Amino acid sequence: MKKIKARGINIPHSTIMVENIIKNGRDDGLIITLTKGAEADLPVLAKKYGLNLEKEESEKEIVIRMSKKEIKELDVTGETCPGPIIIVGDQLNCMETGDRLKVKSNKAETIEDIAVSLPEMGAKVIEHGPADDKYFLVMEKVEKDVSNSALSADAVKRDKVLVVQSNGIGNAEKAYATFIFAKAALSMGKEVTVFLLMDGVSIAPKGNAATVKHPAFERMDKLMAEAVEGGAKIYVCELSAEFRGIKAENLADGCKLAGAATYVTLLSDPSYAVVNF
């Protein structure tokens, strides 16, 4: 551990000095001797950078020890949705506020699915991205925000629409309705998300929507493209897609694989009006 004697340096200069040292990569830890009172902001700093903090006080000075928290790692590669989110949820339940967890997977959509669900699970994203041949996410356990828990759905302005499609091209009427309703909602200034699951994922592969044509409308692939161009997000259930042999590279433009956590998070958001087809 690097040892620093900084008696006589007071707030805010003591805080700025310590943060600069941390930023310069003191992963092995830090022992700082300060005048009493100059350490007041260091607990906040330690929390910000995920460090443990210990202190020893004497009459005139204080010794602060800051060291890297041990981060537990989970590799969920190979786990089928909703396996990853269940594994992460079980681990979070065993963690204390401020503890951190690193999750890795060979699928970017798995990491994104976990990231979307974290606020509902009492955690926040600290860092994420690619690493070697995998993707990772570092999260921190936080206190859940229950300030809005007493609000009923009726008290929330529903300015977003979630269209759930579970039938697919096998039911042309419902398949068309998905994108007709999406376009209508977009024209009304609503934020639109389409979630394809079960047989609904048959719409997503390249070329499939082009096989469906209603006498009164454009081909369905054109309606789908117009909805995407208008700002609609289209999520494709990962489990349903995998069950049918549909891969990410097979999906039409604007479609993206997503897991159960994304779906449940969308359903749990009271600002969404939900339409099922």
Are both 159 and 262 inside the same structural domain?
yes
Mean pLDDT, rounded, for 168-188: 88
- Say which CATH number the domain at 55 has: 3.30.110.40
Number of domains the chain contains: 3
Are both 162 and 232 inside the same structural domain?
yes
With a pLDDT cut of 90, the percent of the chain lying above it is 38
Are both 164 and 270 inside the same structural domain?
yes
Question: Is the confidence at residue 212, as pLDDT, over 60?
Answer: yes
Give the predicted TM-score (pTM) of the model: 0.64
For the CA atoms of 246, 268, 188, 170, the dihedral, rounded to the nearest 10 degrees, stands at 30
Residue that is last in its domain, among 47, 68, 89:
68
The closest of 142, 98, 148, 105 to 122, measured between CA atoms, is 142
Could you identify the residue written with the tokens 């449940």?
A: 264
Are both 267 and 170 inside the same structural domain?
yes
Tell me how far apart the 2 most distant CA atoms of the chain are, in Å: 87
pLDDT category of residue 1 using cuts at 50, 70 and 90: low
* Sign of the alpha-carbon torsion through 101, 107, 108, 111: negative
Are both 112 and 220 inside the same structural domain?
no
pLDDT category of residue 156 using cuts at 50, 70 and 90: low
pLDDT category of residue 147 using cuts at 50, 70 and 90: very low
Contact 64, 32 (CB under 8 A): yes
- Domain with 91 in it: 72-141
Are both 39 and 6 inside the same structural domain?
yes
pLDDT category of residue 151 using cuts at 50, 70 and 90: very low
pLDDT category of residue 95 using cuts at 50, 70 and 90: confident
Are both 253 and 220 inside the same structural domain?
yes
DSSP 124-191: EEEEEEEETTEEEEEEEE-----TTTT--GGGS---EEEEEE-SGGGSHHHHHHHHHHHHHHHHTT-E
Q: State whether residue 242 is helix, strand or coil.
A: helix
pLDDT category of residue 189 using cuts at 50, 70 and 90: confident
Q: How far apart are the first and last CA of the chain?
A: 61
Question: Is the confidence at residue 14, as pLDDT, over 80?
Answer: yes
Residue 246 lies in a domain: yes
For residue 193, the model assigns a pLDDT of 95
Are both 79 and 40 inside the same structural domain?
no
